[in-house]
Chains A and B, each alone.
Chain A
């Protein structure tokens, strides 16, 4: 039986409807359901995106002199598959690149299609290598960090790796701002994977990093480093640290830790030298800490300026006996004499009147036990006693049993120089963007620690130290210097004291109108006293700073009441 034509048409129509319907449904799935993944797949096949590196910002000193800049360099690589004579090529490359021929030959013989021969090579050296036309060698332009002043403030600046990322110091702390934002270049590729010449590349321009303006003064930093190195070598010391800062703004003019390294060879330096000891290493401050004991005593009214103490030759506190640095009979001293002569026993007697709670309170107010807020990588807060007793109170009064950084110590004296107001130290003044506009960093935080009157009394005591006390080596004719010596025993790794000392001197000038605070600490000098090992370095730096910063002298402050004329 034959089906009627109309029926066949209907069947055909239905079949066509189903077929086209299926296609439409599949199309809908592809274009709606899987749209994103398929689009991405298509783009991935068709487009290639490469990063365009942003130029790293410069680090400059306070006068906009560059301390760290980025220059062009070249990575030299090889495709060993194309190297025909590894021995000959290695021998030709070795003298130009300063590498061993054997190492180069080994690289040229390695498996794979890509091996670095040398990274961040100077462009002129790379050009000389290129003229050799050795088969299998390739060249990649790359950025390289360059420190034109060499080993100047290396621990402050830090360094960057071969991938142009900050590894330490300010380079690490401000890596994000310095690095900028990389751009991209998207190229359309043909089926063979080659760029389509007629296609338009989509380029997102990289945004260069900002330039960082530090508070460091390049000239002063150099003079400080030169003087520090001479002092350390002259005293047969292990090392030393210096901080020079403005007590009113908190700007750090110079910060040096010896020994140092050349940041142009950051990766090759001993990691121990990377540490910015002014911020990352805490030490027992010794007698420079007595000024906080005095501040607490005067501010709380526990001790009067004229009050006299009978200071014995030694003092028993619990199971321990406290001595002064020199043997003396029972002496009558005012608080000014105790500070000027740096009497440990006298400081312990003052602390006894102040009390542990107030002493602890004032140490915290001066910034102990917390970082200074510079944000510097690895900055330590130091150590404060977890529990106080009579022994702790006595030892802490003259700076043993606690640990602070040289920066914290400089901050204490800056507070006194600033009329009793603590100012947060800072290493960065601001940034300069791509448009050349300077953007100042936020103003430094401040807090009142002691009243201006107390700060004035403390200044008078510190001036007395330099005029007649242990700090005479820091005196500068024509300028009244206020400061304090310190000599502290060092702990070994087991927590017991050894006959190794840290000599220090912290002070400011001129006493009547302070403009500059300088903290000096010398690690394990032959002559252990701060007045001998550290005070002369303070004086040398201060003399230069007076000229460099144009610091005028000021009317001298009156010395505090004292019971004896010191030698």
Chain B
């Protein structure tokens, strides 16, 4: 049993190139290869009588080396872009997290201050209660005036 020898891939296109011309590219048009006319009648497959002609092996072309160089630059460029995007996303995410943290912190502070304000308002309302002040005044031996004398100013109203 024989092992087929490894051969370099044929750099030349093994398939016929597409012949549809680019619509907007100016320049001389290459003549499209003629397509074989479709068979209209079925025929029996012909039996090969001669050995297959060896395919011509074309030498390596400098264009392939240029394409390899292009690949490297492309990959460097792509890696840079991807890295930038990743860094950008990470940075953006970090900013969002940081802002969210600050927002939550501010919200917490707002809640605390609101709670403190409410607590202080309640305390003020309790302490300013007239009954509490009257009780406190009584403990300080303060008394209500026995009789309030209302003075009349000449020319302003008049009493009975």
Identify 19 new A-B residue pairs, CB closer than 8 A, beyond the known A149-B131, A476-B150: A148-B125, A148-B129, A149-B125, A150-B129, A152-B130, A223-B130, A226-B134, A466-B160, A475-B160, A477-B149, A477-B150, A478-B150, A478-B151, A479-B159, A479-B160, A480-B160, A553-B150, A553-B159, A554-B158
Q: How far is the CB of A227 from chain B (nearest CB, A)?
A: 10
Q: Are B150 and A69 in contact (CB under 8 A)?
A: no
* A149-B131, A152-B130, A546-B150 as given contacts; A481 in contact with B125, CB under 8 Å: no
In the complex, whether B121 has a CB less than 8 A from a CB of chain A is yes
CB within 8 Å of A: which B93-128 residues: 118, 121-122, 125-126, 128
User: How many angstroms between the C-alpha atoms of A560 and B125 in the bound complex?
Assistant: 49
B residues with a Cβ closer than 8 A to A are: 118, 121-122, 125-126, 128-131, 134, 148-152, 156-160
A residues with a Cβ closer than 8 A to B are: 65-66, 69, 71, 146, 148-152, 218-219, 222-223, 226, 463, 466-467, 475-481, 510-512, 543, 546-547, 552-556
Q: Which residues of A contact B126 (CB under 8 A)?
A: 148
Q: Are B130 and A219 in contact (CB under 8 A)?
A: yes
* A152-B131, A222-B131, A476-B150 as given contacts; A66 in contact with B158, CB under 8 Å: no
Q: How far is the CB of A476 from chain B (nearest CB, A)?
A: 7
Q: Which residues of B contact A149 (CB under 8 A)?
A: 125, 129-131
Q: Which residues of B contact A219 (CB under 8 A)?
A: 130
Look across to chain A and name the residue whose beta carbon is closest to the beta carbon of B159. A478
User: How many angstroms between the C-alpha atoms of A467 and B159 in the bound complex?
Assistant: 11
Q: Which residues of B contact A510 (CB under 8 A)?
A: 157
Q: Are A71 and B122 in contact (CB under 8 A)?
A: yes
Partner of B156, one of A148, A150, A226, A553: A553
Q: Which residues of B contact A463 (CB under 8 A)?
A: 160
Q: How far is the CB of A492 from chain B (nearest CB, A)?
A: 36
Q: How far is the CB of B145 from chain A (nearest CB, A)?
A: 10
Q: Which residues of B contact A546 (CB under 8 A)?
A: 150
Instruction: Name which of A148, A150, A218 has the most chain B CB atoms within 10 A of its CB.
Output: A148
Q: Are A552 and B129 in contact (CB under 8 A)?
A: no
User: How many angstroms between the C-alpha atoms of A197 and B58 in the bound complex?
Assistant: 65
Q: Could you write out 28 A-B pairs with CB less than 8 Å apart?
A: A66-B125, A69-B125, A146-B122, A148-B126, A149-B129, A149-B130, A150-B129, A150-B131, A218-B130, A222-B131, A223-B130, A226-B134, A477-B150, A478-B152, A478-B159, A479-B150, A480-B159, A480-B160, A511-B160, A543-B148, A547-B148, A552-B156, A552-B157, A553-B150, A553-B152, A553-B156, A553-B157, A556-B158
Q: How far is the CB of A279 from chain B (nearest CB, A)?
A: 23
Partner of A65, one of B128, B149, B156: B128
Q: Which residues of B contact A477 (CB under 8 A)?
A: 149-150, 159
User: How many angstroms between the C-alpha atoms of A69 and B152 in the bound complex?
Assistant: 42
Look across to chain B and name the residue whose beta carbon is closest to the beta carbon of A148. B125
Q: Are A151 and B131 in contact (CB under 8 A)?
A: yes
Q: Are A553 and B158 in contact (CB under 8 A)?
A: yes
Instruction: Name which of A69, A222, A543, A553 has the most chain B CB atoms within 10 A of its CB.
Output: A553
User: How many angstroms between the C-alpha atoms of A146 and B148 in the bound complex?
Assistant: 35
Q: Which residues of B contact A479 (CB under 8 A)?
A: 150, 159-160
User: How many angstroms between the C-alpha atoms of A83 and B148 in the bound complex?
Assistant: 65
Q: How far is the CB of B111 from chain A (nearest CB, A)?
A: 12
User: How many angstroms between the C-alpha atoms of A148 and B132 in the bound complex?
Assistant: 10
Partner of A481, one of B122, B134, B158, B160: B160
Look across to chain B and name the residue whose beta carbon is closest to the beta carbon of A222. B130
User: How many angstroms between the C-alpha atoms of A343 and B122 in the bound complex?
Assistant: 53
* A553-B152, A556-B160 as given contacts; A69 in contact with B130, CB under 8 Å: no
Q: Are A554 and B125 in contact (CB under 8 A)?
A: no
Q: Which residues of B contact A481 (CB under 8 A)?
A: 160
User: How many angstroms between the C-alpha atoms of A556 and B160 in the bound complex?
Assistant: 6
Q: Are B122 and A222 in contact (CB under 8 A)?
A: no
Q: Are B121 and A66 in contact (CB under 8 A)?
A: yes
Look across to chain B and name the residue whose beta carbon is closest to the beta carbon of A556. B160
Partner of B160, one of A65, A467, A547: A467
User: How many angstroms between the C-alpha atoms of A148 and B126 in the bound complex?
Assistant: 5
Q: How far is the CB of B44 from chain A (nearest CB, A)?
A: 30
Look across to chain A and name the residue whose beta carbon is closest to the beta carbon of B148. A543
Q: Which residues of A contact B160 (CB under 8 A)?
A: 463, 466-467, 475, 479-481, 511, 556
Closest 8 CB pairs of A and B: A553-B157, A148-B125, A222-B130, A480-B160, A478-B150, A478-B159, A149-B129, A148-B126
Q: Which residues of A contact B125 (CB under 8 A)?
A: 65-66, 69, 148-149
Q: Are A555 and B134 in contact (CB under 8 A)?
A: no
User: How many angstroms between the C-alpha atoms of A65 and B124 in the bound complex?
Assistant: 10
User: How many angstroms between the C-alpha atoms of A536 and B129 in the bound complex?
Assistant: 26
Q: Are A555 and B122 in contact (CB under 8 A)?
A: no
Q: Are B159 and A222 in contact (CB under 8 A)?
A: no
Q: How far is the CB of A369 from chain B (nearest CB, A)?
A: 35
User: How many angstroms between the C-alpha atoms of A373 and B160 in the bound complex?
Assistant: 35
Look across to chain A and name the residue whose beta carbon is closest to the beta carbon of B147. A543
* A148-B126, A546-B150 as given contacts; A69 in contact with B157, CB under 8 Å: no
Q: Which residues of B contact A66 (CB under 8 A)?
A: 121, 125
Q: Which residues of B contact A556 (CB under 8 A)?
A: 158-160
Look across to chain A and name the residue whose beta carbon is closest to the beta carbon of B150. A478
Q: Which residues of B contact A480 (CB under 8 A)?
A: 159-160
Q: Which residues of A contact B152 (CB under 8 A)?
A: 478, 553
Q: How far is the CB of A316 from chain B (nearest CB, A)?
A: 38
User: How many angstroms between the C-alpha atoms of A71 and B158 in the bound complex?
Assistant: 50
Q: Which residues of A contact B130 (CB under 8 A)?
A: 149, 152, 218-219, 222-223
User: How many angstroms between the C-alpha atoms of A293 and B157 in the bound complex?
Assistant: 31
Q: How far is the CB of A64 from chain B (nearest CB, A)?
A: 11
Instruction: Name which of A149, A218, A512 has the most chain B CB atoms within 10 A of its CB.
Output: A149
User: How many angstroms between the C-alpha atoms of A177 and B150 in the bound complex?
Assistant: 44
User: How many angstroms between the C-alpha atoms of A357 and B84 in the bound complex?
Assistant: 98
